[in-house]
C-alpha cells in the first residue's frame, strides 16, 4: 500500500531551519555578551589597579617633593651658617692685622730707611718716609714684594730728593718717598696643612728647577 504525505513538509523544514538559525544566533549573542562582559570586567579591573598605583605614586611624589624642599631649605641654612662662620673667622683673623703690619715693617725695613707716617684704609697701607738714597727705597720695594708674608704689591707713589742739615756745616742728601702696599687678609694665608710645594713662590720653584 502506497502512503502519500500530503502535509506541507517544505514549510516545516523551513521553520525548523529558521528556528535552528535563531537559536544559534541567540547562543552566539549570549556567548558574545559573556565574552564582552568578561573583557570589560578585566579592563575595568586593570584600570582600577592602575588608578590605585597612580594614587600611590602621586602620594610618594608629593612626599618626595616635600623632602626635596626640606633638603633645599637645609642646604640654604648650611650655606648661611658657613657664610657666618667664614665672616666670624675673618673678623677674628683680621683683628690682628695691625700687629702683623707693624711686625712686617720692622722685618722688611732696610738700614737707612725711616718711616715718618703710616695710614691704613681697608686693605691698603700708605706709608711715607725718608731714605738715605734711592737704592734704599728700591731695596724696601723688593723686600715688601718678595719676602713679606702679609704685604704684597708695593707701589711707589712719589720719590723726591732733598738736603737735610745735620749741623750748620754738614748737609746730607736724602730721598723722601711715599708708597702704597696691599695688606693680605688672614683668609689669604696658606692653611696649616698645606704642603710646602703648594705655597712656595715661583722664584723658589724656578731656583729648585735650575739646581
211 pLDDT higher than 60: no
Rg of the Cα atoms in the chain: 50
pLDDT of residue 186: 66
84 pLDDT higher than 50: yes
Q: Which residues contact 158 (CB under 8 A, 6 or more apart)?
A: 177, 178
Question: Rounded distance, CA 159 to CA 73, Å?
Answer: 57
**Average pLDDT over the chain, rounded to whole?**
79
pLDDT of residue 47: 92
Retrieve residue 33's grid coordinates: 555578551
Could you read off the pLDDT of 114-159 as tens digits, one per residue? Answer: 888 888 887 888 989 988 888 888 888 888 888 777 888 888 888 8
Res. 202 pLDDT band, cuts 50 70 90:
very low
Could you read off the pLDDT of 30-67 as tens digits, one per residue? Answer: 898 899 888 999 999 999 999 999 999 999 999 998 88
Under CATH, to which class is 97-187 assigned?
Answer: alpha beta
* 156 and 136 Cβ atoms separated by less than 8 Å: no
Question: Rounded distance, CA 172 to CA 167, Å?
Answer: 10
pLDDT of residue 210: 37
Question: Rounded distance, CA 124 to CA 145, Å?
Answer: 14
Retrieve residue 120's grid coordinates: 691704613
**CA-based end-to-end distance of the chain:** 146
pLDDT of residue 204: 41
Percent of the chain with pLDDT over 90: 11
- What would the mean pLDDT of 89-97 be, rounded to a whole number? 71
Weakest mean pLDDT among 12-26, 93-107, 148-162:
93-107
pLDDT of residue 61: 92
Alpha-carbon distances, residue 128 vs 41, 51, 156, 181 (angstroms): 98, 83, 10, 11
Res. 187 pLDDT band, cuts 50 70 90:
low
Weakest mean pLDDT among 4-8, 95-99, 161-165, 202-206:
202-206
In the chain, where the domains are located = 37-95, 97-187
Amino acid at each position: 500500500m502506497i502512503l502519500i504525505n500530503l502535509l506541507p513538509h517544505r514549510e516545516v523544514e523551513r521553520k525548523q531551519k529558521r528556528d535552528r538559525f535563531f537559536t544559534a544566533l541567540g547562543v552566539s549573542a549570549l556567548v558574545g555578551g559573556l565574552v564582552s562582559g568578561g573583557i570589560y570586567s578585566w579592563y575595568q579591573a586593570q584600570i582600577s589597579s592602575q588608578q590605585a598605583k597612580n594614587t600611590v605614586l602621586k602620594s610618594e611624589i608629593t612626599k618626595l617633593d616635600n623632602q626635596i624642599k626640606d633638603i633645599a631649605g637645609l642646604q640654604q641654612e648650611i650655606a648661611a651658617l658657613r657664610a657666618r662662620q667664614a665672616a666670624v673667622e675673618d673678623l677674628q683673623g683680621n683683628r690682628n692685622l695691625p700687629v702683623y703690619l707693624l711686625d712686617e715693617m720692622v722685618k722688611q725695613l732696610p738700614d737707612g730707611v725711616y718711616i715718618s707716617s703710616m695710614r691704613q684704609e681697608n686693605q691698603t697701607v700708605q706709608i711715607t718716609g725718608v731714605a738715605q738714597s734711592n737704592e734704599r727705597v728700591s731695596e724696601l720695594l723688593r723686600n715688601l714684594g718678595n719676602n713679606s708674608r702679609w704685604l704684597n704689591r708695593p707701589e711707589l707713589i712719589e720719590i723726591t730728593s732733598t738736603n737735610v742739615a745735620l749741623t750748620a756745616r754738614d748737609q746730607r742728601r736724602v730721598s723722601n718717598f711715599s708708597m702704597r702696599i696691599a695688606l693680605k687678609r688672614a683668609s689669604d694665608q696658606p692653611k696649616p696643612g698645606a704642603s710646602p710645594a703648594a705655597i712656595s713662590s715661583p722664584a723658589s720653584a724656578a731656583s729648585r728647577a735650575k739646581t
